[in-house]
Amino acid sequence: MPKYDRRCGACGNVFEVTCKISDKGNNFYCPECGNADGDWMPSAPALAEPQRLMTAKKDTGFKEVLSKIAERNPRTNVTQQV
């Protein structure tokens, strides 16, 4: 589910809201003052969880891509990272 940043209209506190795009019209209360008024702000894109990145390296498709890179460029050391 997407995460959004929201700035409270009363106290200026910036907090994170996890909700569907369709739920952005609902009231989300500031954890500092309890006010429901605020502005939606663009947030940084989410990155993959570190655990998921680690499992991706164990994927055979990933190893195959690395081996093809090593074949085409023998000076690279990508196979040592697997």
Q: Are 34 and 64 in contact (CB under 8 A)?
A: no
For 9, 10, 25, 28, the CA distances from 4, given in Å and listed in that order, are 16, 18, 13, 11
- The answer to whether residues 3 and 16 touch, using CB atoms and an 8 Å cutoff, is yes
Which residue carries 């929201």 as its tokens?
Answer: 6
Q: Give the pLDDT of residue 69.
A: 75
The residue ranges of the chain whose pLDDT is under 70 are 44-61, 74-82
Output the CA torsion sign for 65, 66, 67, 71: positive
Q: For residue 49, what pLDDT is reported?
A: 58
